Structure 1
Amino acid sequence: MVVKVIELVGTSRHNWTDAVDNAVLEAAKSVDDILGVEVTNFTANVDNGHIAEYKADVKIAFQVHH
């Protein structure tokens, strides 16, 4: 089996879990056979003293077919 890993940044206005989910959902639109995800970092944009946007840096692994 050959596995490829891509890196994405998911975003959400609600929380970091949704940001990770959004990254996986977006990847699934063009990538088949996703095997797993590794979250490498959490960040956020702050506006007027409140978190305005949650961001999750993720690595998504998927199987490559020959």
Structure 2
Amino acid sequence: MVYKKVNLTGSSTESWEDAAMEAVERAETTLENVKWVEVQGRGIELANVDEPEYQTEVEVAFEIEDTGGMS
């Protein structure tokens, strides 16, 4: 099996957990075979927003389908 990883950043005005889930939910709508997610970092945006915005960076791993090209 081969996996590919992409980094995404979710945001929420509620919590870091909600921000992470926002990124995961988006990944699952655009990527197939999502296998796991690792939290890479967290932050809070304070400038240019009406209320603090929690941001969570996640690394999403998904399985690359075998095309049968290599033995």
TM-score where L is the length of structure 1:
0.88
- 2:30 match: 30
Number of equivalenced pairs: 63
Q: Quick one: percent identity of the two aligned structures?
A: 32
Return the index of the structure with the highest Cα Rg.
2
Aligned-residue Cα RMSD (Å) equals: 1.2
Q: Indicate the structure with greater strand content.
A: 1
- 1:55 match: 55
- Letter in structure 2 aligned against 1:25: E
Unaligned runs of 5+ in 2: none
Unaligned runs of 5+ in 1: none
Structure 1 segments of 4 or more deviating over 4 A? none
- 1:9 match: 9
